[in-house]
């Protein structure tokens, strides 16, 4: 007897833009041990990941980012974190991250209970852009599009319910990109590809908190071409985060 | 064989083009889903009478769909008439109740009355559940003799409550569809409840089946249990004459 649920057609992921190590104090779930996260990524066919650290987001920014930097290697592209509750510290950290060679900074507005119109968000986004960092951000795209105008940004929480808002905002913002994690309606990926181009789509799993297989399945069983699938599964992320000098 | 016990036919109000029957069938084909038990979006979110009749007409065009007759707990007169007029088609095998669109929580008097009506017709009821509301549905099963209920979304974020609910009563089933696919959610539920209570539901064509299919896939169930989830439990609950 074999299982009716099979998936031998999943695409390899060459760069996942949404992976976390570290823990949340306010919820059950994994502890985010880097070795365990690496095992989950490997088991899900994810060859390389942009990894940020919840220690930086929730407790201590410099030591969290230093931990993340130490993970750098063939399978990990370190992503810095800042605390939007401390915009003065965040601007210092953005500069430090750029000096250390980080390519991206991740914002955690939901976890830090920071709203889109707080001055910190606009300030840190501008500072990151000036430092040449790509912004990866959580938060409701219908609100966070505004302070992130003019930046190169990947919205990590775009839900398909809000896809139309992302599309109309992104038409005027060539730097706006979205993770595929929550674009799990039957035509969301294809809608972005049609209205904005497939280069705006980046595979994101939020390993180890979400099932990494779901956005891979969506890519495998949708209507994008194999070339487009490869771009979403890592090519677009490499272009943004690891451009060839 | 895979049976989807939580499907919809018709358009949604988001930026998506999924309203055609052909879309239902194409999405089912993507995941090898043979049969989907389907409610009309029109009946769920707007006009229950018109939606149920539109669903009945659509069911005439595909033998891969079976119907949920949607009941709006605020319109039980409509429900009684729809049950009387549409059940004889033989294409409706259960009732759908959406507690949010009708602003009728499971514990509300009107939804309790709707569930009593459903139980009197000996039909399974797929009920939208969220957070702790599977516990309210379990209590309804205790209070209403013969009620057989499916906790739609198995409580979504409240899946731990769904486990407690399913273990509290022997006439409550769970299906996993949810656009937020928390790691390990279905595996944890499958390990904690009677294997006969697990169903496969997708919420298609609102949600792509990737979400539920991936959740089940990630649980890495033994083949015999996977088969129960895929179709055997649904066939038994809905009394369907199907074989794997």
For A145-171, the pLDDT digits (tens) are 999 999 999 999 999 999 999 999 999
Q: What are the strands, taking DSSP E only, across B83-234?
A: 92-97, 125-128, 149-152, 172-174
Could you tell me the sign of the dihedral formed by the alpha carbons of B35, B199, B19, B33, in that order? Answer: negative
Q: How far is B181 from chain A (nearest CA, A)?
A: 5
When pLDDT is averaged across residues A101-111 and rounded to a whole number, the result is: 98
Residue B154 has pLDDT above 90, yes or no: yes
Report how far residue A212's alpha carbon sits from residue A204's, in angstroms, rounded to the nearest whole number.
8
Nearest CA in chain B to A184: B208
How many CB atoms lie under 10 A from the CB of residue A44?
18
Whether B222 is in a domain gets the answer: yes
Chain B contact set for A171 (CB, 8 A)? none
ipTM of the complex: 0.96
B24 touches chain A (CB under 8 A): no
Closest of A87, A98, A42 to residue A65, by C-alpha? A98
Answer yes or no: is B183 within a domain: yes
pLDDT band at A243 (very low <50, low <70, confident <90, very high): confident
Q: pLDDT of A33-67, one tens digit each? A: 999 999 999 999 999 999 999 999 999 999 999 99
User: What pLDDT is attached to residue B234?
Assistant: 98
Q: Determine the Cα–Cα distance for residues B33 and B14; give it in Å rounded to an integer.
A: 24
The pLDDT tens digits for B158-212 are 999 999 999 999 999 999 999 999 999 999 999 999 999 999 999 999 999 999 9
- Provide the total of helices (H) and of strands (E) in chain A, helices listed first: 12, 9
Among B9, B20, B26, B183, which would you mutate to test the A interface (most chain A Cβ atoms within 10 Å of its Cβ)?
B183
Residue A244 predicted with pLDDT over 80: no
Is the CB of A4 less than 8 angstroms away from the CB of B182?
A: no
Any domain includes B244: no
Q: What is the pLDDT of chain A when averaged over all its residues?
A: 97
User: What percentage of chain A has pLDDT greater than the value 70?
Assistant: 100
Closest CA to A68 of A43, A40, A93: A93
- pLDDT given at position A245: 61
Beta-carbon contacts below 8 Å between A and B: 111
Give whole-number Cα distances, A118 to A88, A129, A151, A155, A196, in Å.
13, 18, 17, 18, 29
Does pTM surpass 0.90?
Answer: yes
Residue A229 pLDDT exceeds 70: yes
- Average pLDDT of every residue of chain B: 97
Q: Is B102 helix (H, G, I), strand (E, B) or coil?
A: coil
From chain A, the residues in CB contact with B24 under 8 A are: none
Q: Determine the average pLDDT of the residues in A80-108.
A: 98
Range of the domain at B44: 3-238
pLDDT digit string, tens, across residues A114-124 = 999 999 999 99
pLDDT score of A87 more than 90: yes
With beta carbons under 8 A apart, name residues in chain B contacting A141.
Answer: none
Q: How confident is the model at residue B78 (pLDDT cuts 50, 70, 90)?
A: very high
B198 lies within 8 A of chain A by CB: no
Q: Which residues of B41-63 are buried (b: 16+ CB within 10 A; e: fewer)?
A: bbbbbebbbebbbbbbebbeebe
Q: What's the average model confidence in pLDDT over B43-64?
A: 98
Residue A120: the pLDDT is 98
CATH number given to A16-241:
3.20.20.140
Token pair for B59: 């069911």
In a domain, B217, yes or no: yes
Q: Number of structural domains, chain B?
A: 1
Q: Domain for residue B20, yes or no?
A: yes
Enumerate residues 6+ apart whose C-beta is below 8 A from B188: B159, B163
For the segment B52-69, the average pLDDT, to the nearest whole number, is 98
Q: Report the share of chain A in percent with pLDDT over 90.
A: 97
Would you call B192 an interface residue with chain A, using a CB distance cutoff of 8 Å?
Answer: no
**Locate tokens 């017709």: which residue?**
B121
Look at residues A32, A25, A48 and name the one whose alpha carbon lies nearest to residue A209.
A32
Distance from CA of B110 to the nearest CA of A (A): 29
Asked if A1 lies within 8 A of B183 by C-beta distance, the reply is: no
Residue B91 belongs to a domain with what CATH number? 3.20.20.140
Comparing CA positions, the residue from A100, A132, A134, A185 lying closest to residue A15 is: A134
Q: Is B243 within the bounds of a domain?
A: no
Question: pLDDT (tens digit, 9 = 90+) per residue, A4-30?
Answer: 999 999 999 999 999 999 999 999 989
In the prediction, which pLDDT does A1 show?
82
């Amino acid at each position: 007897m074999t299982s009716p649920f099979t998936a031998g057609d999943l695409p390899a992921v060459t760069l996942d833009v949404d992976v976390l190590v570290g823990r949340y104090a306010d919820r059950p779930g994994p502890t985010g041990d880097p070795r365990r996260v690496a095992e989950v990524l490997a088991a899900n066919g994810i060859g390389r990941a942009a990894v940020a650290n919840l220690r930086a987001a929730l407790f201590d920014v410099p030591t969290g980012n230093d931990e993340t930097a130490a993970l750098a290697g063939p399978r990990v592209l370190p992503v810095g974190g800042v605390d939007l509750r401390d915009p003065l510290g965040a601007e210092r950290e953005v500069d430090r991250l750029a000096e250390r060679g980080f390519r991206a900074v991740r914002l955690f507005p939901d976890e830090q209970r920071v709203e889109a119109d707080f001055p910190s968000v606009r300030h840190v986004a501008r500072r990151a852009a000036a430092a040449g960092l790509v912004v990866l951000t959580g938060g409701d795209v219908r609100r966070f599009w505004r302070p992130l105008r003019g930046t190169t940004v990947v919205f990590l929480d775009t839900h398909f319910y809000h896809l139309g808002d992302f599309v109309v905002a992104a038409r005027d913002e060539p730097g706006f990109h979205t993770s595929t994690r929550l674009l799990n309606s039957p035509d969301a990926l294809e809608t972005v590809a049609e209205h904005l181009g497939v280069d705006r789509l980046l595979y994101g799993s939020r390993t180890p908190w979400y099932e990494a297989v779901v956005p891979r399945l969506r890519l495998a069983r949708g209507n994008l071409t194999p070339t487009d699938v490869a771009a979403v599964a890592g090519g677009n992320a490499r272009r943004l985060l690891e451009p060839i000098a | 064989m895979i049976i989807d016990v939580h499907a919809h036919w018709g358009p949604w109000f988001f930026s998506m083009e999924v309203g055609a029957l052909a879309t239902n069938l194409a999405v089912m084909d993507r995941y090898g889903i043979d049969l989907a038990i389907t409610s009309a979006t029109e009946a769920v979110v707007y006009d229950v009478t018109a939606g149920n009749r539109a669903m009945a007409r659509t069911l005439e065009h595909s033998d891969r769909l079976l119907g949920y007759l949607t009941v709006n707990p605020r319109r039980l007169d409509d429900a009684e008439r729809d049950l009387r007029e549409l059940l004889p088609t033989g294409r409706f095998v259960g009732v759908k109740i959406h507690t949010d669109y009708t602003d009728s929580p499971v514990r509300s008097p009107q939804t309790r009355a709707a569930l009593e009506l459903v139980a009197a017709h000996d039909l399974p009821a797929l009920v939208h559940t969220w957070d702790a509301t599977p516990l309210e549905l379990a209590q309804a099963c205790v209070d209403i003799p013969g009620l057989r209920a499916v906790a739609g979304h198995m409580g979504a974020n409240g899946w731990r409550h769904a486990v407690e609910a399913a273990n509290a009563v022997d006439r409550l089933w769970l299906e996993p569809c949810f656009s937020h696919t928390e790691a390990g959610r279905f595996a944890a539920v499958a390990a904690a409840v009677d294997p006969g209570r697990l169903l496969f539901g997708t919420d298609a064509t609102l949600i792509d089946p990737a979400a539920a299919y991936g959740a089940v896939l990630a649980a890495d169930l033994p083949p015999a249990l996977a088969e129960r989830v895929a179709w055997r439990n649904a066939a038994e609950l809905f009394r369907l004459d199907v074989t794997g």
